A and B are shown apart, each in its own frame.
Chain A
Amino acid sequence: MNQRFDMDRYVALMAETLDIPVSEEERPGVILQMQRTADLATQVMEFEAPQDLEPAPVFKP
């Protein structure tokens, strides 16, 4: 994953895209959680999954 990820800009854009209002006061808290999630996701994304690996959830029609 790109470690130079601009979290401030990402949060602002996603707030606009999803229509979730995030005020200036609220923004640091959201950025903090987003950064924590990104740090965890980095660990997950480091895993080199074989292309034919089936995702975990199984849908039964």
Chain B
Amino acid sequence: MTAESLLGATATTIAAAVRGGEARASDLLEITLARIEAVNPSINAFNTLTKDRALAEARKVDERVASGEDPGPLAGVPFGVKNLYDVEGEVTLAGSIINRDNPPASRDATVVERLSSAGGVLVGLLNMDEYAYGFTTENSHYGATRNPHDLERSAGGSSGGSAAAVAAGLVPLALGTDTNGSIRVPASVCGIHGFKPTYGRLSRAGVFPFAASLDHTGPLARSTADLALAYDAMRGPDPRDPICRTEPSDALLQDPGRGTSALRIAITGGYFRETLEGQALDVLDTAAQALGARDVVEIPEAAKARATAFVITTIEGASVHLANLRSRKNDFDPLIRDRLIAGAMAPAAWYTAAQRFRRWYRDRVLALFEDCDVILAPATPCVPQPLWQEMMNLDGQELPVRPTMGRFTQPLTLIGLPIVVVPVPIPGQRHPIGLQIIAAPWREADALRAARALEEAGVAAVREPEISRAKA
């Protein structure tokens, strides 16, 4: 097996080849960097490449293989991280120019350190909406990230650089963050898999905060096995993150993969179908049929839950930036500045009401899981929209593009449920739509099992964009 044949391969395939001595991590890195140099100018996914570190990590993996040591489960797998994760020696820009004045990180974010320790090779830092406050990765400082399937359209956000890099085949694995949908929206519109485990499952230590009571970390990849591989390497308690769960978790790759016969699968109705475009509805129904989902459940007060997520996000987000809003307001991206100022001005009564509704809503939604294990819902209401477009038409309504892309993800992050997004192609369409596979808290294995079943049935599939077939 040549390193060239591993370009565009899954992390699972790459790690097996490197561990088995069939390919060298250093060779794969060299062609990966060449591919990034060739393709990245078209999609603007990477902000920074970490070549020196990547070379050192790849050499270390090759030395371990050569000396018969275990190089780790992610041996030689190139990966990128959203520019919100601390990387030792790099300034965590968080998509801003304000953070350029911060010192370089003194150590990696916990999950970055864990991927590297597992043999992963960090190749660079990925573009995002400023401070993760957006669903489109339109960044006034660093430019928009373009959708690899259609360069005139958004890659989704705020982890748009992460999704575009994976969709374009530049890396098989990237980390994103998800506060309101920032892993699931870009995974959906870029046609790849995304995974947002339960709130508190994966450490957020060393990740620049957005809205602390909603912030999640997680991987994006081109197969469900790769999501599990990354999750297994990152999971586990972390005293640096007070939210991170201290109880041990099960490895997902070890899940026996019994299929879905033991799972009770339901589909969402009501709010999650009302504004869905016709073909997206077909996608949802096709997936439901493949999984044998019969019951329709209605997530109660989903619209109010979305409003609640907005209120909590804007107020918690503003609190992070209050000092800079006073002293250097004009250095913020104009796309987010006024929202942060409004959040700073919001009365406390709005916030406390939101956190109280959130408890009520959490209890009602968890009760749904007494009768089912997994709930299916669309991840986005439509295919990606043209970049810099302000308004869109959805089901006859004129709606602002940027917030609307998150209408199906926000009600779910609000209560921290574990969710896998899988890409479901629409016949005759260039863009797939992602399907959210939602499980009860701490039941990541249920969501992943259903995702794997859809992948094996061919209902969920990653399509290679033309751009990734370009010669490096």
Contacts and interface: CB of A to CB of B under 8 A. Distances in A.
A and B bind: yes
Contacts of A46: 304
A51 B87 CA distance: 45
B350 A41 contact: yes
B339 interface: yes
A20 B326 contact: yes
B338 A33 contact: yes
Contacts of B415: 56
B322 A18 contact: yes
Contacts, number: 98
Interface size class of B (residues with CB under 8 A): 35 or more
Interface string B171-210: 0000000000000000000000000000000000000000
B468 to A, nearest CB: 38
A32 B355 CA distance: 24
Nearest to A33: B342
B354 to A, nearest CB: 5
Contacts of A26: 338
A60 to B, nearest CB: 7
Interface string A47-61: 101000111110010
A45 B345 contact: no
Contacts of A22: 341
B356 A43 contact: no
Contacts of A56: 213, 355-356, 358-359, 362, 415
Contacts of A53: 356, 359-360
A29 to B, nearest CB: 4
A3 interface: no
B352 interface: yes
A14 B344 CA distance: 9
Given A22-B341, A33-B338, A37-B342, A44 B326 contact: no
B314 interface: yes
Nearest to A42: B307
Nearest to A46: B304
A32 B334 CA distance: 14
A46 B415 CA distance: 20
Interface size class of A (residues with CB under 8 A): 20 to 34
A44 B351 CA distance: 9
B369 interface: no
A60 B358 CA distance: 18
Nearest to B325: A20
B342 A19 contact: no
A15 to B, nearest CB: 7
Given A37-B311, A53-B360, A44 B339 contact: no
B310 interface: yes
B350 A18 contact: no
A26 B330 CA distance: 10
Nearest to A28: B338
A36 B355 CA distance: 19
B53 interface: no
B242 interface: yes
A33 B335 CA distance: 11
Nearest to B246: A60
Interface in B316-350: 322, 325-326, 329, 337-339, 341-346, 349-350
A41 B346 contact: yes
Interface in B234-291: 242
Nearest to A40: B307
Nearest to B342: A33
B394 interface: no
Contacts of B360: 47, 49, 53
B357 interface: yes
B303 interface: yes
A57 B329 CA distance: 30
B346 A43 contact: no
Nearest to A22: B341
Interface string A6-42: 0000110011001111100010011011101100110
A14 B358 CA distance: 27
B308 interface: yes
A10 B356 CA distance: 25
Given A30-B338, A33-B339, A54 B359 contact: yes
Interface of B: 213, 242, 301, 303-304, 307-308, 310-311, 314, 322, 325-326, 329, 337-339, 341-346, 349-350, 352-360, 362, 415
29 contacts: A14-B344, A14-B345, A15-B345, A18-B345, A20-B325, A20-B326, A20-B329, A20-B341, A20-B344, A20-B345, A22-B341, A29-B338, A30-B338, A30-B342, A33-B338, A36-B342, A37-B311, A37-B350, A40-B311, A41-B346, A44-B311, A44-B354, A44-B357, A45-B349, A45-B350, A49-B353, A53-B360, A56-B356, A56-B359
Given A15-B345, A33-B341, A60-B242, 7 more contacts: A10-B345, A33-B342, A40-B307, A41-B311, A43-B303, A47-B301, A55-B358
